[in-house]
Amino acid sequence: MSSLQAMSKQELTQRVTALREEYEGYKARGLSLDMSRGKPSAEQLDLTNGLLDCVNARTGFCTDAGFDTRNYGLLDGTPEAKALFAELLDVPTDNVVVAGNSSLNLMFDYIAQAVSTGLCGNTPWGQLSEVKFLCPVPGYDRHFAITEHFGISMITVPMTENGPDMDMVEELVKDPAVKGMWCVPMYSNPQGITYSDETVRRLANMVPAAPDFRIMWDNAYCIHHLTDTPDTLLNIFDEVHAVGHDDMVVIFASTSKVSFPGAGVAVLAASKANIADIKRRLTVQTIGHDKINMLRHTRFFGNAEGVHQHMKLHAAVLRPKFDVVLSALENRLGDTGAARWHTPNGGYFVSVELQNGCAKETVRLLKEAGVVITPAGATYPYGQDPNDSVLRIAPSYPPLSELEIAMELFCICAELVYAEKLLNA
Amino acid sequence: MSSLQAMSKQELTQRVTALREEYEGYKARGLSLDMSRGKPSAEQLDLTNGLLDCVNARTGFCTDAGFDTRNYGLLDGTPEAKALFAELLDVPTDNVVVAGNSSLNLMFDYIAQAVSTGLCGNTPWGQLSEVKFLCPVPGYDRHFAITEHFGISMITVPMTENGPDMDMVEELVKDPAVKGMWCVPMYSNPQGITYSDETVRRLANMVPAAPDFRIMWDNAYCIHHLTDTPDTLLNIFDEVHAVGHDDMVVIFASTSKVSFPGAGVAVLAASKANIADIKRRLTVQTIGHDKINMLRHTRFFGNAEGVHQHMKLHAAVLRPKFDVVLSALENRLGDTGAARWHTPNGGYFVSVELQNGCAKETVRLLKEAGVVITPAGATYPYGQDPNDSVLRIAPSYPPLSELEIAMELFCICAELVYAEKLLNA
């Protein structure tokens, strides 16, 4: 394994031949492996099975205050669930709404509200000639799908090791058509980067031209540490408050990867004015969310410390899988120059930056050999990676044995594509 | 008890005095009773407790096809839940989406979609200068709250014993600004009226000027019979199909009053084109709904017949409560001329039509004596009953003993207000 760039044409030809041979060997095995989705494995799901027995006729259905969770009421969640998430997110309980099963749904509905009826008395975005959103890239495809759905123009901002390029962000928010920004501030999807303190402070201190500019702070992985030396993230709720910009940020999270995806609990936290604005809609939108499921969660976890302990069990399952991915990348691609990546301390993904023009072809080769990964371009707005270089690896779902094979093949394909590219250059 | 209208001034004066005395007697008791909300009682909720034990580590988490309901996937619901609701609503499985916990939420989101991104390729309603909706009255306040939230003008259409006044409806839909209509076709909220076959057929045969006109068919009480001689409702899904108007109707229902309000399952049924349109949004809006809860429901109920049997248990609890309400009305107000009502065969409410100008004052007197009912006007758009005559009684939640007292007082107040009105005329 050595730098492909530094090889002679003859060395490159030999390397391509060797990699082709390895590739064909794997291909002949008729594999069917999937590294495409950030899904918990069955082993992880089993960690939370006990939650399903936490509310029934034997345990009772009432909150501490005696409210029957089987009936209508408590639009913003059970007091216990609000307290638990307030503790986890380190915000006041009154600034929390505990809702349904999907934080993505909360984000969609918030943007839908901005588009259809407007935020805090501002003009509905649907009545403006142009609305733009800042999208740090690579990023989360489902965020971009929401803004695309509503016809909002997306402006990409490159991620750095400290978060989005803040010089660029600060310049862009001077445009009053720029109405918001997607952020996964901790263990970002897909790179696993945590925003630096300076980045959070600069975000909090921005004075965008649009009065209804919103930072969509998707803190999906705030407690999803993988190592004993976790990243730390500055509390943006406190930072915006300190400078009087309380209304600029809405925080989202869920237990999709804490308890069960689809049967978890989602939450948002925001300023008093934003919460009132959101509740004005919620009052009309729903009869309330599933309080029995909230009660299951608060009984199972007890408090924030209980959740943190539970996340250590998840980490124990996930860490060996991330180790397989990172070892393969290091051992097989480390010095080749074919790939760069950030080693994450948490989250659900490893993002690999290949040389320009290598991503799609790598995915194609993998697919032909029976390994599915997230499509090239998926981490960019409109599915278009201008450099065709970024691929996202999701290690959580496949068993270790399958992951090892899939990663070997990934590295073979990535190196092969780059080597052939150099050879044909 | 006799016709107040026919009484002499002296007789009226005596009657008012007698009623005042009765009223003051109740008032002195310091009551605190609530007939305001269509909430199931604890006795009803207990009927479904077994559902909460239907999915756990002992019973397993998978659908019949082996899909693990604890993980991501199945955007439109589990196959079993789709099949159950298809059977209950008598529509094909492919035309069903099983979703979250609130059919109101499904209705809100559908109108939100119409406003923000448009229905089936039509112009978003938010970009039109005026959008109008037909609202049969009296009707469901939460429907009207949705259309009001989105700034949609509401046109009232009076209900008859056969459903909305169809002559009026057919005339109004010639206006291209009229984009839809709210309907609770069976055991309507609040009157308990079921649309006649002719009404359903005339609705299905309409050719509204607006291509994206939608009948919001909230079949909330489709299986909520109270008697052994239930009403029957023509299947609008078949009726619109027969005349090629498939896209004109979207059907909504939920198990809020079958299993648990807030922890039930909601469903919609619609044409192929509408389902595709809704799924285009859902794909972006959510990671999917709570499939574990769907599995609980299908395991607990088994099939449509199981649901119908379960509803008989609900009816056994509810029927005596409705009997108290209807007996009190009949015995105390029957011949007074102070009130008219429809005797419902199902649903959750009794709607009482008082003489014009008597509703608010009756509510005020009740409140002063410690009895809360749904506010006067609540069953009309913007909370404004032009005749101030309609009051909604919700018998389900209070215990029988409390309901008896509250209804006695209701009748006293209603008669008193009318008698005083006649006296002062």
In angstroms, the CA B289 to CA B78 distance is 10
Q: Which tokens hold the place of A81?
A: 């669930």
Residues B135 and B182: beta-carbon distance below 8 Å: yes
Cβ neighbours of B55 in A, within 8 Å: 52
Report CB contact under 8 Å: A49, B39: no
Name every residue whose Cβ is closer than 8 Å to that of residue B55 and which is 6 or more positions away in sequence. Answer: A52, B61, B69, B292, B295, B296, B299
Crossing angle (nearest 10°) for helices B103-116 and B272-285: 90
DSSP-derived 3-state class of residue A156: strand
Q: How far is CA B328 from the centre of its chain?
A: 23
Cβ neighbours of A67 in B, within 8 Å: none
Name every residue whose Cβ is closer than 8 Å to that of residue A368 and which is 6 or more positions away in sequence. Answer: A27
Residues A256 and A103: beta-carbon distance below 8 Å: yes
Residues A418 and A3: beta-carbon distance below 8 Å: no
Nearest CB partner across the interface for B70, out of A124, A126, A263: A263
Judge residue A279's burial from the number of C-beta atoms within 10 Å of its C-beta, 0-12 exposed, 13-18 middle, 19 or more buried.
Answer: middle
Residue (of B158, B183, B190) closest to B391 by Cα position = B190
How many angstroms away from the CA of B408 is the closest CA of chain A?
Answer: 27
Phi then psi for B149, rounded to 5 degrees? -55, -40
Write out pLDDT tens, residues B138-191: 999 999 999 999 999 999 999 999 999 999 999 999 999 999 999 999 999 999
Write out pLDDT tens, residues B265-312: 999 999 999 999 999 999 999 999 999 999 999 999 999 999 999 999
Tokens 């263990």 belong to which residue? A187
Write out pLDDT tens, residues A285-306: 999 999 999 999 999 999 999 9
Q: With 70 as the cut, is the pLDDT of residue B52 above it?
A: yes
What number of H helices and E strands is found in chain B? 13, 13
pLDDT score, position B88: 98
Interface of B with A in 143-202 (CB under 8 A): 145-146, 148-151
Report CB contact under 8 Å: A262, B287: yes
* Strand B33-35 versus strand A371-373 pairing type: unpaired
Amino acid identity for residue A371 in this structure: V
Report CB contact under 8 Å: B72, A39: yes
How many angstroms away from the CA of A360 is the closest CA of chain B?
Answer: 24
Amino acid identity for residue B403 in this structure: L
In angstroms, the CA A125 to CA B366 distance is 45
Is any Cβ of chain A less than 8 angstroms from the Cβ of B28?
Answer: no
Residue (of B151, B149, B238) closest to B200 by Cα position = B238
Count of other CB atoms within 10 angstroms of residue B145: 17
Cβ neighbours of B287 in A, within 8 Å: 101-102, 104-105, 142, 256, 261-262
Report CB contact under 8 Å: B292, A261: no
Name every residue whose Cβ is closer than 8 Å to that of residue A414 and which is 6 or more positions away in sequence. Answer: A333, A338, A339, A352, A354, A358, A362, A391
- CA torsion angle for B208, B212, B216, B222 (degrees, to 10)? 80
Is any Cβ of chain A less than 8 angstroms from the Cβ of B75?
Answer: no
CA distances from B49 to A192, B207, B255, B329 (A): 43, 46, 14, 34
Is any Cβ of chain B less than 8 angstroms from the Cβ of A116?
Answer: yes
Residue (of A191, A227, A231) closest to A341 by Cα position = A191
Nearest CB partner across the interface for B287, out of A71, A102, A124: A102
Tell me the percentage of chain B whose pLDDT exceeds 90.
98
How many angstroms away from the CA of A402 is the closest CA of chain B?
Answer: 19
Is any Cβ of chain B less than 8 angstroms from the Cβ of A322?
Answer: no
Name every residue whose Cβ is closer than 8 Å to that of residue A281 and which is 6 or more positions away in sequence. Answer: A109, A113, A117, B149
pLDDT score, position B267: 98
Digit-by-digit pLDDT tens for chain A (425 residues) are: 589 999 999 999 999 999 999 999 999 999 999 888 899 999 999 999 999 999 999 999 999 999 999 999 999 999 999 999 999 999 999 999 999 999 999 999 999 999 999 999 999 999 999 999 999 999 999 999 999 999 999 999 999 999 999 999 999 999 999 999 999 999 999 999 999 999 999 999 999 999 999 999 999 999 999 999 999 999 999 999 999 999 999 999 999 999 999 999 999 999 999 999 999 999 999 999 999 999 999 999 999 999 999 999 999 999 999 999 999 999 999 999 999 999 999 999 999 999 999 999 999 999 999 999 999 999 999 999 999 999 999 999 999 999 999 999 999 999 999 999 999 98
Residues A113 and A293: beta-carbon distance below 8 Å: no
Write out pLDDT tens, residues B18-33: 999 999 999 999 999 9
Count of other CB atoms within 10 angstroms of residue A170: 15
Residue (of A214, A230, A212) closest to A222 by Cα position = A230
pLDDT score, position A376: 97
pLDDT score, position B425: 86
Concatenated DSSP letters of A381-398: GGG--TTS-EEEE--SSS
Residue ranges of domains in chain B, CATH in brackets: 9-44+308-423 (3.90.1150.10), 63-302 (3.40.640.10)
Residue (of A289, A270, A283, A281) closest to A112 by Cα position = A281
Is any Cβ of chain B less than 8 angstroms from the Cβ of A289?
Answer: yes
Residues A148 and A382: beta-carbon distance below 8 Å: yes
Q: With 70 as the cut, is the pLDDT of residue B1 above it?
A: no
Residues B157 and B172: beta-carbon distance below 8 Å: yes
DSSP-derived 3-state class of residue B181: strand
Name every residue whose Cβ is closer than 8 Å to that of residue A153 and which is 6 or more positions away in sequence. Answer: A130, A131, A132, A133
How many angstroms away from the CA of A266 is the closest CA of chain B?
Answer: 11
How many angstroms away from the CA of A345 is the closest CA of chain B?
Answer: 24
Q: With 60 as the cut, is the pLDDT of residue B43 above it?
A: yes
CA angle B191, B196, B202 (to 5 degrees): 120
Report CB contact under 8 Å: B105, A287: yes
Task: Compute the count of residue pairs across chains A and B with CB atoms less than 8 Å apart.
Answer: 178
Residues B249 and B234: beta-carbon distance below 8 Å: no
Name every residue whose Cβ is closer than 8 Å to that of residue B244 and which is 6 or more positions away in sequence. Answer: none
Cβ neighbours of A107 in B, within 8 Å: none
How many angstroms away from the CA of B215 is the closest CA of chain A?
Answer: 18
Residues A398 and A343: beta-carbon distance below 8 Å: no
Q: Which tokens hold the place of B213?
A: 């006109």
What does the DSSP 8-state code read for residue A346?
Answer: B
Is any Cβ of chain B less than 8 angstroms from the Cβ of A262?
Answer: yes
Q: How far is CA A246 from the centre of its chain?
A: 23
Is any Cβ of chain A less than 8 angstroms from the Cβ of B42?
Answer: yes
Q: Which tokens hold the place of A248?
A: 């600029």
Mean pLDDT (chain B) is 97
Cβ neighbours of B290 in A, within 8 Å: 100-101, 262-263, 290, 293
Concatenated DSSP letters of A246-295: GGGEEEEEESTTTS-TTSS-EEEEE-HHHHHHHHHHHHHH-S---HHHHH
Is any Cβ of chain B less than 8 angstroms from the Cβ of A67?
Answer: no
Crossing angle (nearest 10°) for helices B79-89 and B291-301: 60
DSSP-derived 3-state class of residue B344: coil
pLDDT score, position A296: 98
Is any Cβ of chain B less than 8 angstroms from the Cβ of A288?
Answer: yes
Residues B418 and B16: beta-carbon distance below 8 Å: no
Cβ neighbours of A53 in B, within 8 Å: 53, 56
Report CB contact under 8 Å: A286, B108: yes
How many angstroms away from the CA of B18 is the closest CA of chain A?
Answer: 39
Write out pLDDT tens, residues A332-378: 999 999 999 999 999 999 999 999 999 999 999 999 999 999 999 99
Average pLDDT rounded to a whole number, residues B192-207? 98
Count of other CB atoms within 10 angstroms of residue B30: 8
CA angle A344, A346, A351 (to 5 degrees): 40
pLDDT score, position A1: 57
